[in-house]
Amino acid sequence: MGSALLRGHELRWHKKGDDGSGKCSIVHVGGDAVVHGALFVIPETEEPALDRAEGSGYSSITVSVESPQGEVTAKTYVAHKSAIDDTRQPYSWYKDLVVSGAESQDLPSEYVDALRQVDAVEDPDAERVRKHRDFLPCGGSG
């Protein structure tokens, strides 16, 4: 459906990934904070598969977002409190996937630039790196 804006929230990379890295979650902080993202229509029959794909440590919540269609209700995922570790960092391939997704949705350039600035670490598992970088445009060349 295009881009969406969630006010009063921040994107954080602090959800404990099963692979030892940090994954994305949103946190309500109020004020002028915003999270930009993409809005998709997911058939109800596919929601269980999406829930499984997101994995453990997340719960789905309903939020109100601003979109080109106006204000809409959307489902998103947030990390359980027990799954948060503020010392975690994303692997570089994961950060690159998030940046690539933001670019593909034409999110604001300042927002994409801020995503690029997030500190990331290299994944020691070369096979996992190859597998995930295959999802990037140009075979993972960034």
Which tens digit of pLDDT belongs to each residue from 73-128? 999 999 999 999 999 999 999 999 999 999 999 999 999 999 999 999 999 999 99
Q: What is the pTM of this model?
A: 0.89
Q: What is the CATH number of the domain that holds 115?
A: 3.10.490.10
* Structural contact between residues 109 and 44, judged by C-beta atoms closer than 8 angstroms: no
Separation CA 22–CA 121 (nearest Å): 10
Please say whether the beta carbons of 57 and 85 come within 8 A: no
Total residue length of the chain? 142
Secondary structure of 56-109 as H, E, C letters: CCEEEEEEEEEECCEEEEEEEEEECHHHECCCCCCEHHHHHHHHHHHHHCCCCH
pLDDT digits (tens, 9 = 90+) for 16-35: 998 999 999 999 999 999 99
Tally of domains within the chain = 1
**Residue-range definition of the domain harbouring residue 98:** 2-140
Copy the structure tokens of residue 76: 């998103």
